[in-house]
Amino acid sequence: MTAQNLTTVEVRMLRAESRKRALQDSWTLWKRNPVTIAGTLIILSLILIAMVAPWLATHDPFDQILADRLFPPSLDYWFGTDNLGRDIYSRVIHGSRLTLMIAFVVALISGPIGLVVGVLSGYLGGMVDEVLMRLSDIFLAFPKLILAIAFAAALEPGLTNAIIAISIANWPSYARLVRAETLAVRNSDYIDAVRILGAGHLRIMIYHLTPMCLSTLIVRVSLDMGTIILIAAGLGFLGLGAQPPAPEWGLMVSDGRNYLVDQWWVSTIPGIAILVVVLGFNLVGDGLRDILDPHQRQS
Amino acid sequence: MSSVDSNPSSLLEVKDLHVYFPIRGGVMRRQLHTVKAVSGVSLNLAQGEVLGLVGESGCGKTTLGRALVGLAPMTSGRVFFNAKELHHKNGKSSNHAMKMQLIFQDPYSSLHPRKQVRDLVGEGLLINGLARVEELDEKVLDILEKVGLGVDHLYRYPHEFSGGQRQRISLARALILKPELIILDEPTSALDVSVQAQILNMLKGLQKEYNLTYLFISHDLSVVRYMSRRIGVMYLGNLVEIGPTRSVFENPKHPYTHSLLSALPSIKKGKRKERMILKGDPPTPIDPPPGCPFADRCSNTQEKCRIEKPVLEPLKKESSQLVACFFQNENVL
Ligand SMILES: Nc1ncnc2c1ncn2[C@@H]1O[C@H](COP(=O)(O)OP(=O)(O)OP(=O)(O)O)[C@@H](O)[C@H]1O
Ligand SMILES: [Mg+2]
C-alpha cells in the first residue's frame, strides 16, 4: 500500500480503530477492579440523582410543616423531618446538586491554576520557580480547611465565596504535584527530541509537558473531591458556606446537631450522604490511577 | 561568524570543541569541579560520508553528539555546518540545525509515551511549517514506509512497539525533515542481535539512497567497521586517532586504539596479535590533569606526556590517518 491511495476514509477508519482500542483498554482495566466499579457506580448514580432530583423528591425541600417537626423516618417521610418540619429525604436528594456543583467547580478552578503554575515553575525554573513556589509554600503551611475558613470568613459568607475560598486553598498542592512531574520529564530524551526538531518553549510546555502531568493531576483531583466536599460541608456547618434554607448537606448536619441524641436522623442522614459520596470519589480516583497510567496498558 | 574560516568541502566541521559541565555544591553552590566531557575535539565530515566514533563508556561520545545539536553547552570551539557557523541558544536549536538530527541511544525513552506515531513523526513538519495538519497522515506514511513500518502503525502509541520498531519511528521522525547529517548515538546497542542487523542494514540502505551523512557513535567495533569508511577513536574527551577504517584496524598507531583492537579476535590468520591489557583504573573526566589523556595507562609514558597534550597529526605527510601521540612512529605495536 502506498501513500497515494490512502484515502480520507481509510484514515478516518484507522483513527476510529485506535480510539476503539484505547477505549477497550480502559474498559479492561476498569473491569479488572471491583473497587473501581463500585466507586464509578456511586458517582454515576449521584450524577443521575442530581439530574432528576425534582422527580425523585417526594416533598418540596423548602416546605416547612411545623406540625410535622422532627418526625422519625416513616412511610410518609422516608428519612424523617428536621426541626422545621422539612422532609429530609427530599432535601438530601436536592442537596446532591449543590454538592456536585461545588466539587466540580472547585476542581475546574483550582486544577487548571495548579497545572499552569506547576508547569511554568518546573519548566522555567530560576526566579519564576522561586517566586511561585514560595507563594505556594505560604498556602501549604496551613491546613486546607483552616485556609478555606479564613478566606471564606474574609469574604462575605455564601456559596460562591465558599467555592472561591476552597479553590484558593486547593491550587497550591496541585502546583507542587505538577511541578514535580514537570521536573521529572523536563530533561527526558523525548523532550530533547522535540527540541532538536525546533520546538519552542511554549510548544514544549503545552503539547509535551502538560499531557504528561495531566493524568497525575486528574487522579489527584478526583481523590481530592472527597476533601473538597468535606470542606464545603465544614464551611456550611460553620455558616460560612451555603446559607439557610439551602439543602446543603453540611448545613443540614449543622442544623441537626442540637437534636443528635433524641432525633439522630436529622444529622446522621446527610452525614451518611457525605460519607458515601466521599468514598465514591476516592474509589474512582484509585481506579483512574491504573487506567490513566500508560504502562499499565502494556500488560 | 564568517564562513571564511570553514572548509567548503565538508558538511560538518568541528574545531577544537570543548564541553565542560560544572559540578556545584557546598556553600553558595560554588563550582567544585569541572567535568571535561569533551576537551578539544576537531573533525571534518564530508557530504555523504559515514564516520564511526568509538571509545569506552564515559569518554564523551554522547556529549559530543548532543553538543552538535545544541542539547549540551559548547564551552568553547566552533562548529560549521554547511559552511555556516552554528550558534545554539540555551536549549533551543538554531534554525539551520534542523538539517542535523540525532537518534538517541535508548528507544524506550526517546518517544513521548502519550503520543501516537503520526504525531511523533509529523511533529517536525508542523513545528517548521512544512505541512498542514490535513497532509500529515500522507507525509508521515510516506516516511514510515521508508523505515519498514506501515499504515497500521500510524495511530498506535509507543508502548505498542518493540525496541527495534521504536528506533524505526525515531528514524522516521528525523528523516521527515530531510536532514543532511544524522548523528546516531549507539542506535542499536539496546536491541537484540538479530534486530540490530536489520536496523544496521536499513541505516546503510537509507544512507545510500539519500546520500546521508552519518556520525555513527558506538562502542561496538564490529558494528562500526561494518557501517563506516572512516573511524575516530575517543579517549577521555579527546579524539586520539582518526582515519580510514581499514588502515586504523590494520595499523593502529595510538596505544589506546591498539589496546581496543587487541581485544577483538583477529580475522587474519597467522597474524596473531598480542593481547594488550590496559593497566590502571578507568579514567574519569573530572578535573583531568594536563598532558596526554592516556598518560596514566600507557605503557610508553614519558615525561613529555605528563606536561603537554599531543595534537592530532597526520601519520606521514598526506596521510589520511591522524594520531595524537608524541611517539606515534616509535610505537612498534
Ligand atoms: N549533564 C552532565 N552533567 C555532568 N556531567 C555529565 C553530564 N553529561 C555527561 N556528563 C559526564 O560526561 C562524561 C561523558 O559522558 P557521555 O555520556 O558523553 O559518555 P559516552 O561516551 O556517551 O558513554 P556511553 O558509552 O556510556 O554512552 C561522563 O563522565 C559523564 O558523567
Ligand atoms: Mg553515550
- For A230-271, write each residue's pLDDT tens digit: 899 899 889 898 898 999 998 898 888 888 888 999 999 999
Q: Do A189 and B128 touch (CB under 8 A)?
A: no
What residue owns the CA closest to ligand 1's atom 29?
B58
Q: CA-CA distance, B113 to B313, in Å (whole number)? A: 46
No. of helices (H) and no. of strands (E), chain B: 9, 12
Do the Cβ atoms of A231 and A79 come closer than 8 Å? no
What is the value of pTM for the model shown? 0.87
Predicted complex ipTM: 0.88
User: Using a 6 Å cutoff on CB, does residue B54 contact ligand 1?
Assistant: no
Match 561496538 to its residue by C-alpha cell.
B220
Q: CA-CA distance, B44 to B10, in Å (whole number)? A: 6
**Interface check B110 vs A, CB under 8 A:** yes
- Bridge partners of residue B243, in order along the sequence: B231
User: Using a 6 Å cutoff on CB, does residue B62 contact ligand 1?
Assistant: yes
**Interface check B98 vs A, CB under 8 A:** yes
Report the run of H or E that residue B20 belongs to, with start and end.
strand B10-25
Of residues B139, B151, B177, nearest to A197 (C-beta): B177
Gap from CA of B170 to ligand 2 centroid (Å)? 17
Under CATH, to which class is B12-330 assigned? alpha beta
Per-domain boundaries in chain B: 12-330
The alpha carbon of residue A139 is apart from the nearest alpha carbon of chain B, in Å, by 27
B4: pLDDT confidence band, cut at 50, 70 and 90?
Answer: very low
Predicted pLDDT at A21: 87
A292: pLDDT confidence band, cut at 50, 70 and 90?
Answer: confident
User: Using a 6 Å cutoff on CB, does residue B22 contact ligand 1?
Assistant: no
SS3 B333: coil
pLDDT digits (tens, 9 = 90+) for B76-131: 999 999 888 887 665 455 555 678 999 999 999 999 999 999 999 999 999 999 99
Predicted pLDDT at A14: 84
B266: pLDDT confidence band, cut at 50, 70 and 90?
Answer: low
Q: Do B113 and A199 touch (CB under 8 A)?
A: no
Whether the pLDDT of residue B149 is over 80: the answer is yes
A1: pLDDT confidence band, cut at 50, 70 and 90?
Answer: very low
CATH topology of domain A33-298: MetI-like fold (1.10.3720)
Predicted pLDDT at A296: 62
Name the H helices within chain A: 8-32, 34-51, 53-56, 88-124, 126-140, 144-154, 159-186, 189-196, 201-203, 210-237, 249-255, 265-292
Predicted pLDDT at B297: 84
Predicted pLDDT at A194: 94
Mean pLDDT across the stretch A21-40? 88
Angle ∠(B106,B109,B112) on CA atoms, nearest 5: 140
What's the mean pLDDT when you consider all of chain B?
86
Q: Are strands B313-314 and B30-46 parallel, antiparallel or unpaired?
A: unpaired
Whether the pLDDT of residue A178 is over 80: the answer is yes
pLDDT digits (tens, 9 = 90+) for B85-95: 887 665 455 55
Q: CA-CA distance, B50 to B210, in Å (whole number)? A: 13
- The candidate with the shortest Cα–Cα distance to B137, out of A71, A18, A175, A22, is A18
Predicted pLDDT at B77: 92
Instruction: Count interface pairs A-B at CB distance under 8 A.
Output: 92
Mean pLDDT across the stretch B321-325? 90
B318: pLDDT confidence band, cut at 50, 70 and 90?
Answer: confident
Do the Cβ atoms of B155 and A18 come closer than 8 Å? yes
